[in-house]
Homo-oligomer: A and B are copies of this chain.
Amino acid sequence: MGERDLIRAFERMLGVRGERVVYATGDDAAVVRAGGASVTSVDAIVEGVHFELATHSPGDVGHKALAVALSDLAAMGARPGEAYVVLGAPATFGEPAAVELVESMEALAERSGITIAGGDVTAAPVLILSVTVVGWAGGERDVAYRDGARPGHLVGVTGALGGSTAGLLVLEGLDAELAPAEREALIRRHRRPEPQLRIGAALAGAVVGAMIDVSDGIATDAGHVAERSGVCVEVRLADLPLAPGVEAVARAAGRDPLELAATGGDDYELLLTVSPARREVVESAARAAGTQVTWVGSVVAGAGARLVGIDGEVVELTGYEHP
């Protein structure tokens, strides 16, 4: 099956959602009714760099590529709009695998209310997916940025941390004392991360200061907020919400569970700062979106991220380098 036939097979699989998309695939470009502000991000994942086909099915890869890109829209608080997908694959990857990959991507698109409105298919020496996502907001002031953290703000994080890295360690063969359901949940967390679109939009509406998705580990991502905002973001390690099973995995790996939670990437939760006066607005927005916010630190004058240990001492962590 040639690339053109594969593209047509994909086109038949993809649905158009909402009234915004005028023309999706089939022309030189997609045409979308626009207004307010558009919010655009692009992310690529490469076999052998960001995932291995030994631990990820084609469906996992498709899901992950779209989820990672959508997580950036969540971090801006944008409403999901359209995705544009480049699929590069060697001939050995095969048509059934490509179809499984796109089906999984389309399932996440449907749940997220996004339309896969265009793309490109090409030969490549390894599997590579590049996903551009476009979200929409009423205007540029309705979006949450990294530069809005101010001294005095509380620092919160949605959901729980460390689950993705713990899941990867289990996938790589680590023998941890886990109940079967816990083990499955950790692996799923790594293979099928969920972009926090609903809470992201709710938090942008609750006028948070700064917001970012936790893709590189909260230690690194707090540093990004600190740098862009010109402040110091202090994070109390002992207050980090650990995903169930992270302690057992850390024990088996001989690592500190809090360090694992602080530096392990790919959780795709949201880190936010907000004026203490808005603490309850944020908490109830989180509840309404089916999740919760844990308060893990505060913004102070200074620079960089500062991780504070149980005894109040500043902790130096070995940085996790996101590929």
Contact = CB atoms under 8 A, between A and B. Distances in A.
**Dominant secondary structure at the A interface:** strand
Interface string A262-288: 000000000000000000000000000
Contacts of A36: 34
Contact of A42 (B49, B73, B76, B118): B118
Given A29-B78, A40-B117, A128-B128, A22 B140 contact: yes
Contacts of A147: 27
A238 interface: no
A124 interface: yes
A52 to B, nearest CB: 14
Contacts of A86: 42-44, 86, 130
B75 A228 contact: no
Chain B CB count within 10 A is highest, among A36, A41, A123, for A41
Contact of A30 (B39, B136, B137, B139): B39
A321 interface: yes
Interface string A143-157: 101110000000000
A125 B122 contact: no
Interface string A47-77: 0111000000000000000000000110110
Interface of A: 2-3, 22-23, 26-46, 48-50, 72-73, 75-76, 78, 82, 84-86, 88, 117-120, 122-126, 128, 130, 132-137, 139-140, 143, 145-147, 212-213, 228, 321, 323
